[in-house]
Amino acid sequence: MKKVKLETELTVYDALDQLPKDVIELMNKAKEARKNAYAPYSNFSVGAAIRLDNNKIVTGNNQENASYPSGLCAERTAIFAAGANFPKSKIVTMAIIAGSNEKETDSPIPPCGACRQSIAEYEVKQNAPIAIYFMGVKGKVVKSDSLANLLPLIFDRTQL
């Protein structure tokens, strides 16, 4: 028997303006996309923006449904749109901004487990890391250099 300790690494920035211009631009696209979230049940709106290696930006937001599980998170809406429309492009960066519509969420909101699994699929497919930035509607921004840092022990195609 042996115990295994897993380590991960994230970078925390105090505010969005400390990040490079291209990341600020991408987060602002996510912010725009968040405005179109359809979240009448949770009142929690999320926007996501993806930069591809051809420099195109693809966005998404959460889309809820009266049959709750039929809705979809912003990150998957965005990444599936990227996969559907630009299947040959690599995903370089994803920016996520999330928060309640009832109060000002000021802590960084990470992608849920199902979204991490979906993002992992594309990271494995393209064999290149996807940098992920996430934040609340204001305040600190967290950067993960790769999805793998957010989801250790991923299940992927190599195990099938």
Q: Which of 75, 102, 104, 121 is catalytic?
A: 75
Residue 60, classed as helix, strand or coil, is strand
3-state helix, strand, coil in the chain (%, to 5): 30, 25, 45
**Cα-based angle 32, 33, 38 (whole degrees, multiple of 5):** 125
Tell me which residues touch ligand THU (CB under 6 A): 39, 42, 44, 46, 62, 64, 71, 73-75, 111-112, 115
Q: Please report how close the Cβ of residue 116 comes to ligand THU at its closest, in angstroms.
A: 8
What's the CA gap between 19 and 25, in Å, rounded? Answer: 10
Q: Please report how close the Cβ of residue 154 comes to ligand THU at its closest, in angstroms.
A: 16
Pick between residue 18 and residue 40 the one whose CB is nearest to ligand THU.
40
Pick between residue 53 and residue 63 the one whose CB is nearest to ligand THU.
63
Q: Please report how close the Cβ of residue 73 comes to ligand THU at its closest, in angstroms.
A: 3
Is 104 in the active site? no
Pick between residue 9 and residue 68 the one whose CB is nearest to ligand THU.
68
Sign of the torsion formed by the C-alpha atoms of 130, 99, 60 and 55: negative
What's the CA gap between 94 and 159, in Å, rounded? Answer: 26
List the catalytic residues. 75
